[in-house]
Amino acid sequence: MKKTHFASPSRRAVLAGAAALTTPALWRAKGAFAEESKKIVVGTWGGDYANLLHKNIEIPFLESKGWEVVQDTESDAPRRAKMVAEKRLPRGTSDVQALSDVNVAEMTAAGVLDKIDYSKLSRAPEILPVLKSDYAVPHIYSGLVLVYNPKLITTAPTSLNDLFDGKNAGKVGVIDIQYIYTVMAAAIAGGGSLNDFEPAKGKLADLKKQGVKIYPTNEGMAQGLKTEEVGLCVMWKARCVQWQKAGVPVDSAVPKEGIIAYQSLFSIPKNAPNKQGAYAYLDALLQSQAQINFANDMGYNPTVSDAPLPEDLRKRIGFTDEEQKHLMTADYTYVTQNDAKWKEWWDKDFKG
Ranges of each domain in the chain: 39-141+262-322, 142-260+329-350
Task: Look at 82-96, 115-129, 320-334 and tell me which has the smallest mean pLDDT.
Answer: 320-334
Q: Percent of the chain beyond pLDDT 90?
A: 78
Predicted confidence at residue 324, as pLDDT, reads 79
Give the span between the Cα atoms of 126 and 119, in whole angstroms: 13
Calculate mean pLDDT across residues 277-297.
97
Predicted confidence at residue 19, as pLDDT, reads 43
Predicted confidence at residue 314, as pLDDT, reads 87
Encode pLDDT of 64-110 as tens digits. Answer: 999 999 999 999 999 999 999 999 999 999 999 999 998 999 999 99
Predicted confidence at residue 320, as pLDDT, reads 82
Pick the CATH number of 142-260+329-350 from 3.40.190.10, 3.40.50.970, 3.90.1150.10, 3.40.50.1580: 3.40.190.10
CA of 48: how far to CAs of 56, 218, 219, 298, in Å? 12, 9, 8, 8
- Give the E-state strand segments of the chain in sequence order: 39-44, 68-73, 96-100, 137-148, 173-175, 213-215, 232-236, 251-253, 259-267, 301-302, 327-328
Residue type, 44: T
**Length reported for the chain:** 352
Predicted confidence at residue 36, as pLDDT, reads 54
Calculate mean pLDDT across residues 156-183.
97
Calculate mean pLDDT across residues 5-12.
38
Instruction: Say whether domain 39-141+262-322 belongs to CATH 3.40.50.2300.
Output: no
174 pLDDT higher than 70: yes
Calculate mean pLDDT across residues 217-223.
96
- List Cβ<8 Å contacts ≥24 apart for 278-281: 278/40, 278/95, 278/96, 279/117, 279/120, 279/121, 280/40, 280/62, 280/65, 280/67, 281/40, 281/42, 281/57, 281/62, 281/69, 281/95, 281/96
Predicted confidence at residue 129, as pLDDT, reads 85
32 pLDDT higher than 80: no
Predicted confidence at residue 329, as pLDDT, reads 85
157 pLDDT higher than 80: yes
Calculate mean pLDDT across residues 189-199.
97
Q: Percent of the chain beyond pLDDT 70?
A: 90
Calculate mean pLDDT across residues 186-212.
98
11 pLDDT higher than 60: no
The answer to whether the pTM exceeds 0.75 is: no
Calculate mean pLDDT across residues 116-126.
98
Q: In the predicted model, what is the mean pLDDT of the chain?
A: 90
Task: Look at 27-31, 35-39, 131-135, 317-321 and tell me which has the smallest mean pLDDT.
Answer: 27-31
